[in-house]
Chain A
Amino acid sequence: MRKPHVAEPTAVRWGVMAVALVFLILFLVVPLAAVFTEAFRKGVGVYLAALREPDALAAIRLTLLTAVITVPLNLVFGVVAAWAIAKFEFPGKQLLITLIDLPFSVSPVVAGLIYVLLFGRQGWFGPWLTAHHIKMVFAVPGIVLATMFVTCPFVARELIPLMQAQGTDDEEAARVLGASGWQIFWRVTLPNITWGLLYGVILCNARAMGEFGAVSVVSGHIRGQTNTIPLHVEILYNEYHAAAAFAVASLLALLALITLAAKTVVERKARQSLKGFVHEY
């Protein structure tokens, strides 16, 4: 979009810019730099040792396991939900979109709590689970479920606006040409949403690996067993192993930076992929 040919006086412009930049440096750049500085404060040796420690490795394994389960499930859910919402008209659609967004507005601690109330010793299914020797809460299944709750909107909310903007002409064209439902999805729809889908997956993955509040409630903090990377960071920090805590935290910060970089690339691609859909009249 063209910028207007009227602008503030130069002094005002510089002033506004300075305020914004100082604010962003204090709130974004300084903390980001601090993570890596603190991580290497005691040298590379301590840094690597903190990552190689068995409890750290166990936490990394559990985090990866959680992501490997939750991300694909939420990916499928996101695509399916976006298909239903973007390609069809039905009553209650707006309500459904709001419901999909609901986990975003629930406090992560409450998200953890609801699973404790469902599967914990005092919960609805608690007695039954105890009787069958199944452990959900303070065990891996609880962590996975809480993470699924927190991350389930990510893919869907990336895809819904994108697919709504693309409309249904392509799918109708494919239908008239004789394509089946699967053929339409794989050959026509999916190539159009690849980048948006990828972005949703990246965000979903970042949150799945980094979720703290919800997981904290359901994990039980058993070292080497139910600790994810963020929980491991917490324990190290609270036990005054600051350098080790930041070393492990730097992994997550790195993940965040990769996420931001991927977002920038993907957003550009997604904009291009939407371009052909803006009809020239």
Chain B
Amino acid sequence: MSIEIQHVTKIFGDFAALKDVSLTVPAGELVALLGPSGSGKTTLLRIIAGLEVPDQGTVLFDSQDATARSARDRRVGFVFQHYALFRHMTVFENVAFGLRVKPRHERPAAAEIATRVRELLTLVQLERLAERYPSQLSGGQRQRVALARALAVQPKILLLDEPFGALDAKVRQELRRWLRRLHDEIGITSVFVTHDQDEALEVADRVVILHEGCVEQEGSPEQVYEHPATPFVYRFLGNVNLFHGRVEGSQVHLGEFSMEAPAGMGQAATPAVAYARPHLLDIDHQPPSGRPHFQATIAHINAAGAVVKIELTTGSGAIVNVEMPHERYRHLKLRKGIHVFVSVKDMKLFTQAHSTLGGGI
């Protein structure tokens, strides 16, 4: 089932949680709503579920208006951030709940309910824990019970609010991959909310980035990572080096260095910000030709990890982060305190109106 959000606005008191948001989730996709806290992502999810009603705008399921439909009638599966498992019920009873509260004429027979619940518990690999109570489960197990419970009523849409938020790092990694596989198996339209960009980029087919109640950008993980539409998206998706400066004529002056302005920048002097991810900067002992570069001193080196992380200080005292493979690091024989040249392989330039005029260099 596809979901369409059209011009949705939601205001709590004097706080606008969502401002005229429109969005489409194609059937069968796994979509991440990504944003910092207060960006409106959870509100949007709850509006899709019918747990909040928008002040303006409509929600369509398969092109049918569902805005007025109650949470009870929407047939969506919802996994709460803290799971909201019923503590006085066993795992089995929790999963069976949605089937047992169906009106008598729709309710499956007890034996059928038992079979369905067993199947779901097998799917989430908890068949042995059916008689346990939620308090006797680990965080990851509770999460899977919550998922099984949501799936029991055979929803057309699955919504997950910060599904891995309350788990520790290792369990989180496992559950992410598991959720991805599960989605590929059952193919149900799924939307999950997260504030963790790695999670969104790794798991989702599409990522929707929200900021202060507006959609900043949506697209595949690769699209949003490689072609961030706004400075916010650039900053939000991973570490970044920031250079403040201004465009003057055909040149961009960025404090430490200057470079050719991309075409179409306009002639008037405009303040500009340039972003460069740490792996798009390089270090050398000689000034490289053909690339914009500047001098800096190595302040700190962290070689523990998949890449070597180097922190440098520029002449004006600004801090720049660079990441490079171990081979290159060993080849250059870098040490703390030496002077080097930092060159820019690629960077993204935004003028003040945060239009995305600057491309790669």
Contact = CB atoms under 8 A, between A and B. Distances in A.
The reply, when asked whether chain A contacts chain B directly with Cβ atoms under 8 A, is yes
Contacts of A180: 72, 101
B82 A177 contact: no
B101 A183 contact: yes
Interface in B129-149: 134-135, 139, 149
Given A177-B98, A178-B102, A279-B166, A170 B84 contact: yes
Contacts of A172: 51, 71, 78, 80, 84
Given A178-B153, A276-B135, A173 B84 contact: yes
Given A172-B80, A191-B88, A192-B87, A177 B153 contact: yes
A192 B134 CA distance: 14
A93 interface: no
B361 to A, nearest CB: 43
Given A276-B134, A280-B166, A175 B87 contact: no
A173 B80 contact: yes
20 contacts: A169-B80, A169-B82, A170-B86, A172-B71, A173-B86, A174-B101, A175-B51, A176-B71, A176-B78, A177-B98, A177-B149, A178-B75, A179-B97, A179-B98, A187-B97, A188-B86, A191-B86, A273-B87, A276-B87, A279-B82
Q: How large is the interface on A (under 10, 10 to 19, 20 to 34, 35 or more residues)?
A: 20 to 34
A187 B76 CA distance: 21
A27 interface: no
Given A192-B87, A276-B135, 17 more contacts: A169-B82, A172-B80, A174-B101, A175-B51, A176-B71, A176-B76, A176-B78, A177-B98, A177-B149, A177-B153, A178-B101, A179-B101, A183-B101, A187-B97, A192-B88, A276-B87, A279-B82
Nearest to B73: A178
Interface in A170-224: 170, 172-180, 183, 187-188, 191-192
A281 B166 contact: yes
Contacts of B149: 173, 177
Contacts of B49: 176
Contact of A175 (B72, B86, B166): B72
Most chain A beta-carbon contacts within 10 A, residue among B51, B74, B82, B84: B84
B152 to A, nearest CB: 8
Given A172-B80, A276-B135, A279-B166, A177 B87 contact: no
Contacts of A176: 49-51, 71-72, 74, 76-78, 150
Contacts of B75: 178
B86 A177 contact: no
Interface residues of B, number: 29
Interface in B215-264: none
Nearest to A179: B101
Interface of A: 169-170, 172-180, 183, 187-188, 191-192, 273, 275-276, 279-281
A169 to B, nearest CB: 4
Contacts of A191: 86, 88
| Interface of chain A, main secondary structure | helix
Contacts of B51: 172, 175-176
B97 A177 contact: yes
Nearest to B70: A175
Interface in B69-112: 70-72, 74-78, 80, 82, 84, 86-88, 97-98, 101-102
Contacts of A169: 80, 82, 84
A174 B70 CA distance: 13
Nearest to A181: B72
A276 B89 CA distance: 13
Contacts of B72: 175-176, 178-180
Contacts of A177: 97-98, 101, 149-150, 152-153
Nearest to A275: B135
A187 B100 CA distance: 11
Contacts of A188: 86
Contacts of A179: 72, 97-98, 101
Contacts of B152: 177
Contacts of A279: 82, 166
B78 A174 contact: no
Nearest to B76: A176
A89 to B, nearest CB: 10
Contacts of A175: 51, 70-72
Contacts of A281: 166
Contacts of A280: 139, 166
Most chain B beta-carbon contacts within 10 A, residue among A173, A187, A191, A280: A173
A278 to B, nearest CB: 10
B91 to A, nearest CB: 14
Interface in B334-357: none
Nearest to A175: B71
Contacts of A170: 84, 86
Nearest to B50: A176
Interface string B271-303: 000000000000000000000000000000000
A172 to B, nearest CB: 6
A192 B86 CA distance: 9
A13 B266 CA distance: 79
B176 to A, nearest CB: 19
Most chain A beta-carbon contacts within 10 A, residue among B51, B88, B101, B102: B101
Nearest to B12: A89
Contacts of B98: 177-179
Interface string B145-179: 00001101100000000000010000000000000
